Structure 1
Amino acid sequence: MFAPRVAAPLRTVGRMQTAAIARTAFARTRVMAPVGTRILSTSQPNKEEVKVAPLVQQRKNRPLSPHLTIYQPQLTWYLSMFHRATGGAVAFGFYAGAITYAVGPMFGMGFDAATVVSTIATVPVAAKVAGKFIVALPFTFHSFNGLRHLLWDTTRALTLKGVYSTGYAVIGLSTVSAIGLALI
């Protein structure tokens, strides 16, 4: 917008006239406002703005696109969400346990190896197996799904059939591994 108005006179006139023409061109295009300020118009909205106003209001009420409610849930969906959740759970459990083990005795919590072993020894066997399964499942799933993602980084199993078959393999391997770790 600015270039056609100023560029042609700059080529044809002298230096003094060029500066005067450039100043008037700047004034006409309203670029003399300080940087970061918006030039506000006090004029009435035109017919086009009035016609589009209801559409603008409708757009404000629409859900973000793409939105989860418009898709049919799929295996890849659930595996992605579970991968993120298990990653957070494993990290939280590791850091909470390590920090409690490190600073617990300083605050008189009695969270040392002897206390933990004696407390777990009093728990029934079924509760121990269930507890170990609950701890092992997020770890095994996150580990196997991480290997699945590393496989994808090599551009293998990226077809729809490959994604689903590796997804089912991750579910199976993580469940069997968690049961095996729980029974140890």
Structure 2
Amino acid sequence: MSPFRHRCGRSEARRYHREVPASAPDYRRHGRGGRGGRFFDTGDLRLVILRLIAERPRHGYEIIKDIEERLAGAYSPSPGVVYPTLTLLEELGQIAVRSTEGGRKLYAVTPEGEAALAGSREEADALFARMDALAGDQPDGSVLQLKRAVHNLRNALRMRLSRGPLTEEQLHGIVAMIDDVAHKVERI
């Protein structure tokens, strides 16, 4: 696939996410359109990261975990997205490394970053409100707890399968456990 065609596909996806009405009850309007989708549109994650660092200096890993916690596990940005974004923000002069301990950089906002954040305050507020709304699907966050649990099961299966093939006995055991849980959920 040519680089041009790849970029066109991305812009078409971005256009789709912008066309979905803000009143849509589904979280896919935020860029997380199923398998392989993104939670944030272009530039949104950069603004979220900048605001988090403006709240207090943070390490990259803390940013990943903070976003994941704010969304109760429904989404977690990958290091392959967060660390290049931190590098970009640093190159733009909006954040700077305050200290380095054990190879981990602690990022702090700069005056340029504060100015950029002030210029995008409404957009940042809307992003955080959207994240809060998603995390608050239910008053107690139960929907997101369920999504997190399903995500954990999927990851556990992937990790086990990555270690090598299953024996027939192991496969039947896993399938039986999952089927048993599904039947129990149906009866609740």
The answer to whether TM tops 0.5 is: no
TM-score scaled by length of structure 2 = 0.28
Q: Which has the larger radius of gyration?
A: 1
Query: Which one has the bigger helix percentage?
Result: 1
TM-score scaled by length of structure 1 = 0.28
Greater relative contact order, per chain length (Cα 8 Å cut-off, separation 6+): 1
